[in-house]
A and B are shown apart, each in its own frame.
Chain A
């Protein structure tokens, strides 16, 4: 149980275009989902926290107008990278919490974004 999926697993896009990444909790309802970014040989960096039905909370330094997050249901959150640039190329990982007060975060398999 507690499986989180991401789609797509990898994507290549041209500079200036927008890319949407989906994160789904397959067998549980995720009240809270998180979006991380990981550069090579670096640790995961939290970008934003999203709660179902409310606006996402962004970490300092993360542009909310560039990284649009929508958590429209208890099983789906989306991250849209708008007007992507090569420096946005990274590994994007989502995670989800199964119910409030739980310690456990279940991570998705990640999405590799390459902006050319």
Chain B
């Protein structure tokens, strides 16, 4: 069964600290791995998209990694800001264009 598991479910960190969110996926055939940021009551906004052949991709303070062998991905946030408080959703894309969404990690950045 295609599925995406994220951990932790929620996370609280202090401003300017770093954090890493985890994602394990079981999607076959696999094509790409995406990370989205979703503010409460808003649609998801793309952070990174990696194809199965890419190992890492950065977008400002966000760095995503992908290990297609172990089917794991991570999203590292550097020097967190209050505005980083949101849900971060890991999405695995299948070769047929299907997307499998994780439930997200809710991040709260406190001053």
Contact = CB atoms under 8 A, between A and B. Distances in A.
A112 B40 CA distance: 11
Interface residues of B, number: 21
Contacts of B104: 43
B103 A109 contact: no
Interface string B62-105: 00000000000000000000000000010001000011011110
Interface in B6-44: 31-32, 34, 36, 41-44
Contacts of A91: 41
Interface string A78-114: 0000000000000101010000000111111110100
Contacts of B46: 104-106
Interface of A, helix, strand, loop or mixed by DSSP: strand
A102 to B, nearest CB: 10
B109 interface: no
A97 to B, nearest CB: 9
Interface of B, helix, strand, loop or mixed by DSSP: strand
B49 A44 contact: no
Contact of B43 (A41, A45, A46, A107): A107
Nearest to B104: A43
Contacts of A95: 43
Contact of B103 (A43, A46, A104, A110): A43
Given A103-B32, A103-B49, A43 B41 contact: no
A104 B41 contact: no
B93 A109 contact: no
A93 B49 contact: no
Contacts of A108: 43
A42 interface: yes
Interface in A13-58: 41-46
Interface of B: 4, 31-32, 34, 36, 41-46, 49, 51, 89, 93, 98-99, 101-104
